[in-house]
Amino acid sequence: MNLPEREAAVRRMLERTPPPVPPDLHAEVVRRGSRMLRRRTTARRLLWLVLLAAALAFTIWASVARPWVEPPSTTTPPVSDW
């Protein structure tokens, strides 16, 4: 038996007795699929919320702490009366 014949024989074996499709399949699929979608939406919202909160916290901290301002010198005494 050559390859195409063998393949055809195996195909015929595989095609035998298709299983019956359960009638409530579509409803179940839609139920699970919409739950998946809902969860994804929730997760995305949560992620955005965390991102925004982090950005806000950083802005507030930066405006209060002003890390870009040179700190006042602690070694040289301030120069006065000269």
Partner 1 sequence: MRERHASRGARRAREFEEFVAGAAGRLLHAATLLTAEAPDDNPRARRLLTLALAQTYASWDRLRGEDPYDRARQHLATRFARGAWHQYGALGRHRPHSASVLADLSPQERLVLVLRLYEGVAEEQTAALLGLPTERVRTICARAMATLLHPPREPAPSVPGAKVAPS
2 binds partner 1 (CB under 8 A): no
The residue from 33, 50, 56, 58 that contacts partner 1 (CB under 8 A) is: 33
Report the C-alpha gap between 51 and 4 in whole angstroms. 58
CB-wise, 40 or 62, nearer to partner 1? 40
Q: Count the alpha carbons within 13 Å of 70 in the hemisphere toward its beta carbon.
A: 3
Select the span of 1-9, 47-55, 61-69, 74-82 touching partner 1 (CB under 8 A): 1-9
Q: Which residues, 36 to 65, sit near partner 1 by CB under 8 A?
A: 36-37, 40
Q: Which helix or strand (DSSP H or E) is residue 25 part of?
A: helix 25-65
Which residues are near partner 1 by CB under 8 A?
A: 1, 6-7, 9-11, 13-22, 25-26, 28-30, 32-37, 40
